[in-house]
């Protein structure tokens, strides 16, 4: 009796609570509360982050052009050299001798030409009075012509000897930073050797070779042809270095290769960057963010508001008529930070549910309220143009 006396009031309250009607109409007290963002069409810059490697603007092997023994190295390894600067000195004694011999041969040929031309002149006078035969006169003319040809040949031989002598000083073919020396003093080198003596690379400016999928480039070109994506001017490129930091200066795209690598299915895009401090070195791995155009009439939808259907297609729930839930199938072209870039499935002014949509079903009434992002969360959609990372 005591137990029934204490529990009776509680049971009456529970029964009263069960029999109380629940408001389930639009905006009623029983409708779940959801937060939404209002869609707004805007022009969005398409950016793509791709892997790449740095490459020197100019690179030249330092090679000997004559045979001989290296007498001296005339540069400091790793220093900056200028075009024409002496780098190595090769033993010049054989080439000094060859130059002197060619010069003596020229003097001998010049002396012979004077005698032969004088004889041809005399025979020309004598043949007029039949003092010499016509044949002798023609032979004299031939001898004089051969002497002139010998002089020309000796001039060329002397010039060649002079060139070989000058090549005993190996000079820098370009300006840039020179690497380690691959030959030491006393080494025998030849003009036909395959190994370079050193390598000079020009590092300011510097190239970055970027690899992009040919399929992505095809999609971008198709969007440009249809007018959904536009591009003006020469796009800028931002580099992300190996340590995750951003490179201070932006680069410019120079060209895209006209062929696709059959093994990787990618296309090489080359960008040019200033490198006054030498921070970028050839062969470094970097990531490049490219501005590839502006996507027209796109909308940014927070990723947390986008789900997938049974086929894997992106979907979103919106607050429809009478504050009832509707499901929309989206056409997404990429991401921008924590947002999806949507080009189809939504229209301007749609209220996309961001929070409170876990247990919702189509047609369920909800109590909507504007979404207020917390610190660190994505910004409300439609406030400013932003950038999109292409899929």
Name the pLDDT band for 318 (thresholds 50, 70, 90). very high
Q: Percentage of the chain with pLDDT > 70? A: 82
Q: Check whether 53 has a pLDDT greater than 60.
A: yes
DSSP 209-233: EEEEEHHHHHHHHHHHHHTSEE--S
Q: Count the neighbouring beta carbons within 10 Å of the beta carbon of residue 63.
A: 17
**What single string gives the DSSP state of each residue in 150-219?**
HHHHHHHHHHHHHHHHHTTEEE-SS-EEE---SS-TT-EE-TT-SS-SEEEEEEEEEEEEEEEEHHHHHH
CATH numbers and ranges of domains, the chain = 38-56+203-390 (2.40.30.170), 64-91+168-195 (2.40.50.100), 93-165 (1.10.287.470)
Angle at 323 between CA 317 and CA 324, to 5 degrees: 55
Confidence class for position 145, pLDDT limits 50, 70, 90: confident
Q: Considering only CA atoms, which of 318, 309, 379 is closest in space to residue 351? A: 318
Taking 90 as the threshold, does the pLDDT of residue 262 lie above it? no
Q: Tell me what pLDDT residue 29 has.
A: 54
DSSP 8-state class, residue 93? H
Coil, strand or helix at 20: coil
Other C-beta atoms lying within 10 Å of the C-beta of residue 154: 19
Long-range contacts of 317-320 (CB under 8 A, 24+ apart): 317/352, 317/353, 317/357, 317/360, 318/36, 318/346, 318/350, 318/351, 318/352, 318/353, 319/34, 319/36, 319/351, 319/353, 319/366, 319/368
Give the residue, 47 or 176, on which the prediction is more confident. 176
């Amino acid at each position: 009796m005591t137990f029934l006396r204490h529990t009776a009031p509680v049971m009456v309250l529970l029964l009263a609570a069960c029999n109380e009607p629940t408001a389930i109409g639009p905006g009623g007290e029983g409708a779940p509360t959801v937060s939404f963002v209002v869609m707004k069409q805007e022009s969005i810059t398409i950016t793509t982050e791709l892997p790449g490697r740095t490459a020197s603007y100019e690179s030249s092997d330092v090679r000997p052009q004559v045979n001989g023994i290296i007498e001296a190295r005339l540069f400091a390894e790793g220093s900056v050299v200028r075009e024409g600067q002496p780098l190595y000195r090769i033993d010049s004694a054989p080439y000094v001798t060859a130059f002197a011999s060619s010069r003596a041969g020229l003097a001998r040929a010049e002396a012979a030409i004077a005698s032969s031309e004088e004889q041809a002149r005399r025979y020309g006078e004598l043949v007029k009075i039949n003092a010499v035969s016509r044949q002798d006169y023609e032979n004299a003319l031939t001898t004089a012509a051969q002497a002139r040809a010998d002089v020309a040949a000796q001039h060329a031989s002397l010039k060649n000897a002079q060139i070989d002598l000058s090549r005993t000083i190996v000079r820098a073919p370009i300006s840039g930073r020179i690497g380690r020396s691959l030959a030491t003093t006393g080494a025998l080198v030849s003009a036909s050797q395959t190994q370079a003596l050193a390598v000079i690379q020009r590092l300011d400016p510097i190239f970055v070779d970027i690899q992009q999928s040919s399929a992505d480039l095809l999609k971008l070109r198709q969007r440009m042809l249809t007018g959904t994506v536009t591009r003006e001017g020469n796009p800028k490129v931002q580099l992300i270095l190996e340590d995750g930091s951003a490179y201070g200066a932006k680069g410019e795209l120079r060209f895209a290769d006209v062929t696709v690598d059959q093994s990787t299915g990618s296309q090489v895009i080359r960008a040019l960057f200033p490198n006054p401090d030498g921070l970028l070195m050839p062969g470094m791995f970097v990531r490049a963010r490219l501005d590839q155009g502006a996507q027209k009439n796109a909308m940014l939808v927070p990723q947390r508001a986008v789900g997938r259907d049974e086929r894997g297609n992106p979907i979103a729930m919106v607050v429809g008529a009478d504050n009832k839930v509707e499901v929309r199938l989206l056409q997404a072209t990429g991401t921008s930070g924590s947002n999806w870039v949507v080009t189809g499935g939504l229209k301007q002014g749609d209220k996309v549910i961001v929070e409170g949509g876990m247990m919702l079903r189509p047609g369920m009434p909800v109590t909507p309220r504007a979404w207020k992002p917390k610190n660190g969360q994505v910004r409300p959609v439609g406030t400013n143009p932003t950038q999109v990372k292409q899929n």
